[in-house]
Each structure stands twice: as C-alpha cells, then as structure tokens.
Amino acid sequence: MTSGKKFVTLFFSSLKLSAFTFGGGYVIIPLMRKTFVEKYHWLEETEMMDLTAVAQSAPGAIAVNAAILVGYRIAGLAGALITVLGTVLPPMVILSIISMFYEAFRSNVAVSMVMQGMAAGVVAVIFDVVLVMANTLWQQHRAIWMVLLGACFVASMLGVGAAPLVLICGLIGMADTLLPRHARQDGRKVRQ
Amino acid sequence: MIYWQLFLSFFQIGLLSFGGGYAAMPLIRHQVVELHPWLTLTQFTDIVTISQMTPGPIAVNFATFVGMQIAGLPGAIVATLGCVAPACVIVTLLAWLCITGTVP
C-alpha cells in the first residue's frame, strides 16, 4: 500500500470506528484490534495489547490515546495526527449539531420530560460503574485505598476540586509504590 | 480572553483525567459549572445523558458543546484542541519511547 493510500485508509478507519462506537474507550479498543490487527495486519496482537495498557494508564480519553498510539505505530507522527483527527471529528460534528438545536429542544415540555427520565437511567448506570470500581479497589484488601476513598468522598462533598484530589491521590499511590516495606506481592496483581 | 480560557480549562481536564470518561466527569463539572459560569447543572446533566447515546469520548463531547455555546464553532475547536493536546504530547512521547525501545 502506498503511503498516501495508507493515510487515507487510516483516516477513514478511525473515523468509522469513532462514529459507530457507543460506550466509550473500553468498547472501541476491541474494535480497533479487529480493524488494525485482523483486517489490515498493520499491528501484531501483542503490540495491540501493549498499546491498550499504555492508552489506559495515560491521562485523557482512552479512545483518543489508543488512536494516537495506533497511528504513531503505523505511520509515525503524521499517522498519529490523522487518527486523532479521525477520532475527534465525529463527536465534534454530532455535538455541534446538538448544541445548535439544544435551546429550542430543551424548552419543549416533552423533551424536558424525556431528558429527565433518561438522566435517571444514566445516573443508575454510572452508580453501577462506581460500585464495580469500588469493588475492584476493595478486592485488593488494602486499608489505605478505602481510607483514601472515604477521605476523598468527604473532601469532594465539602467542595474540594477534583483536580487537587486526583493529584494528591496519585502522589500517595506513587509514595506507596516507592516505599520499600510492603513489596509488590500484596494484591497489586489484582489490578487489571 | 474567552478562547484562551476555554483552551486552558479543557487542557486541565485532558491532563488530569486518568481512567477514562467517568473519571473526567467531576473535573469537567468543576471547570464548566463551578469555576466558570459556562453551563448550569441541568445543562451539565443533559450533556452527560446525551453523551451516553452519542459516540465519542465524554470530554470531547463536553468540549464541543461548551465551546459552541460560549464562543461558537471557533470555541468548539479551541476547547477540543485543549482537551486532546495533553494526550497528544504525553501519549506520543510514550509511543516514541515504547516503539524505539528505550523503555520496555
């Protein structure tokens, strides 16, 4: 495949993946694997697994991170720019359109009721995610994480911003890793 | 300047949201509802709801919506750029390190 054609394929593949993937980063990665590993053979299976691990641990949206990694691996810096563009364009277009009609629709009584009903469903879904995540933490049998969780919850209720909380927790996690006393055997492997 | 504020707010969201969309939501709320008067809490809830039904990362969805509401299409572009800029720098650096094999 010529490099020009490769860029075009890369762009439209990420555009298609982004436009038709509902449910966020964890859903898009298996689909990316299907496209770039199975269909085009541009990546090895193990490479895709490594990229997934990096995409999940770096800050930012998982889908965007994975797109950068895949693009860079396949076609360098230009490839990364092309896949990011392809990934970001569909949600931008859709939300721009929604934004333009938002005011008009929101004042409609029926739409308002529908939105409230759907919000209830979404809150339930998010609560379920919170429970699953808290349970993952609980499974590690480390009192420090549960104390941290409780402390952050209280701090957040009292109005402390999310950014300082995340930073402080990150520093505590880093200190915990660097401290020599409990070596790596205690439960860290539970983290997926 | 409004464009710079939008860029900076979403840059912070992109930089500090570890762990995907759900982790980004409190950061987004802090930036666009509490720190800046860009969205009401009802609008915030609406966009969270709409984001569950539309494709794309929630941070990008918010960046586009808030940008459009505050400063039109240029605002949407600037906010989205801010939101993906940290990842572009950090992840490209990681990709480069991983692929050149300097770090395992």
Query: Residue A43, exposed/middle/buried by CB under 10 A (0-12, 13-18, 19+)?
Result: buried
**Which residues of A fall within a CB distance of 8 Å from B82?**
none
Task: Give pLDDT, residue A190.
Answer: 46
Q: What is the pLDDT of residues A1-39, one digit of tens each?
A: 677 889 999 999 999 999 988 877 778 888 999 999 999
ipTM of model: 0.91
Print pLDDT tens along chain B (104 aa).
899 999 999 999 999 988 777 788 989 999 999 999 999 999 999 999 998 888 989 999 999 999 999 999 999 999 999 999 999 999 999 888 877 765 44
Q: What is the pLDDT of residues A107-154, one digit of tens each?
A: 888 888 888 898 898 888 888 888 888 888 888 888 888 999 999 999
Could A60 and B61 be called an inter-chain contact, meaning their C-beta atoms sit closer than 8 Å?
no
Could A61 and B45 be called an inter-chain contact, meaning their C-beta atoms sit closer than 8 Å?
no
Decide: B39 and B69 in contact? Cβ < 8 Å.
yes
Could B87 and A64 be called an inter-chain contact, meaning their C-beta atoms sit closer than 8 Å?
yes
| Number of other CB atoms surrounding residue A146 within 10 Å | 14
Sign of CA dihedral B21, B23, B26, B27: negative
Task: Give pLDDT, residue B4.
Answer: 96
Chain CA centroid to CA A32, Å: 14
How far, in Å, CA of A113 to CA of A119, rounded? 10
Kindly give the residue spans of alpha helices, DSSP state H, lying in chain A: 3-19, 25-33, 45-57, 62-106, 109-138, 143-157, 162-178
A60 → closest Cβ in B14, B34, B53: B14
Please check whether residue B93 touches A, CB under 8 A.
no
For B:33-52, CB contacts with A below 8 A are 34-35, 45-46, 48-50, 52
3-state SS class at A175: helix
A88 → closest Cβ in B45, B60, B73: B60
Q: To the nearest whole number, what is the mean pLDDT of chain A?
A: 86
A83 confidence band (pLDDT: 50, 70, 90): very high
Task: Give pLDDT, residue A4.
Answer: 85
**Which residues of A fall within a CB distance of 8 Å from B73?**
96
Q: What is the pLDDT of residues A23-82, one digit of tens each?
A: 777 788 889 999 999 999 999 988 888 888 888 888 999 999 999 999 999 999 999 999
Chain CA centroid to CA A11, Å: 20
Task: Give pLDDT, residue A9.
Answer: 94
Q: What is the pLDDT of residues B14-32, one digit of tens each?
A: 999 887 777 889 899 999 9
How far, in Å, CA of A32 to CA of A166, rounded? 29
CA-nearest residue to B74 within chain A is A96
Could B64 and A69 be called an inter-chain contact, meaning their C-beta atoms sit closer than 8 Å?
no
Q: Residue A87 corresponds to which tokens in the numbers above? A: 């990934």
Decide: A26 and A97 in contact? Cβ < 8 Å.
no
- With a pLDDT cut of 90, the percent of chain A lying above it is 39
B21-29 vs B58-100: helix crossing angle, rounded to 10: 120
Please check whether residue B5 touches A, CB under 8 A.
no
Please check whether residue A40 touches B, CB under 8 A.
no
Please check whether residue A157 touches B, CB under 8 A.
no
Torsion of CA B86, B87, B88, B89, to 10 degrees: 60
Instruction: Kindly list the distances between the CA atom of residue B93 and the CA atoms of A25, A36, A77, A100, B103, in Å, as whole numbers in the listed order.
Output: 20, 21, 10, 37, 11
How far, in Å, CA of A82 to CA of A142, rounded? 43
